[in-house]
Amino acid sequence: MSHFSSLFFRALLMMGGAIVVTAELSSFLPVLSQLPPQEPTPGSTQGETQSPMVTPPRIKLQDAWQQVYRRLPNFPLENNYIDIQTKRVVQDNTLAGRLIRYHIYTKGRPATSRLDWKLTLADYLGVNEFLQTDDYPSATALTINPIQGDTNVIRALTLLERNVLIKTLVAVFTPPSTSQTGIRPTTPLSSPVLLPVQPILPPVKPTNSQPKAADLLVQP
């Protein structure tokens, strides 16, 4: 077989492989079109925009805001808003829940960073970033946008109350450490060195065969 014939034969093989691959892809495309859409991130509500850099927290959103109110029972609930579809008051739509959703899903900030929680409260105070009315949590789910009421509550807090709120939010999302669970390390950091104790021997009584000190003095 000549060199030209060999090259022509290889070209035919390559074309045949490309035809087979194209046929396989064309049969696979209908399967891709039947796949279900990707589920939204847990904790989001319909009509809310989410930051693409969101990291899902370790704790559920509902458990998080409930723990906030267990630690801070005097923190305002602000849960008297009416659902736009059911026309009923949504008692589980609280200020703490909307604050957490704004921090995590709207702004994409880490839930265990004290500094980032300060930035979030600064948004409510109007000294960092401006709150966007349409992007605020539950803006389209309630008959009245809760952004103004939530802003008024946060701005009415004292500096001490804001610091306590930030500390509580960080503690809720921070997993318990070894010291907090009461588990002690099996090996101490420094063990005392025990020196061997010398036993105290009883005094030896002199026997009659041993000469006394007075006899030694008078001996020549």
Domain ranges across the chain: 61-173
> Cβ distance 138 to 129 under 8 Å?
no
* Cα distance between residue 216 and residue 34, in whole Å: 118
C-alpha angle 134-137-143 in degrees, rounded to nearest 5: 75
Cα–Cα distance list, 164 to 11, 84, 109, 115 (Å): 74, 33, 19, 13
139: tokens are: 């803006």
- Banded pLDDT at 1 (limits 50, 70, 90): low
Q: Is the dihedral of CA 88, 92, 96, 98 positive or negative?
A: negative
pLDDT in tens, 155-195: 999 999 999 999 999 999 998 874 444 544 443 433 444 44
In this predicted structure, what is the pLDDT of residue 175? 85
CB 97 within 8 A of CB 61: yes
Residue 25 has pLDDT above 60, yes or no: no
**Token pair recorded at residue 185:** 């390390």
pTM above the 0.85 mark? no
Instruction: Indicate whether 31 pLDDT > 80.
Output: no
Q: Average pLDDT, whole number, for the chain?
A: 74
Length of the chain equals: 220
Concatenate the DSSP letters of all residues of 155-214 into one string. Answer: HHS-HHHHHHHHHHHHHHHSPP-TTTTTPPPSS-SSPPPPPPPPP-PPPPPPPTTSPPHH
By mean pLDDT, which of 13-27, 96-110, 139-153 is the weakest?
A: 13-27
176 dihedral zone (left: phi>0; alpha: psi -120 to 50; beta): beta
**How do residues 104-156 score in pLDDT, each as one tens digit?**
999 999 999 999 999 999 999 999 999 999 999 999 999 999 999 999 999 99
Give the model's pLDDT for residue 29.
40
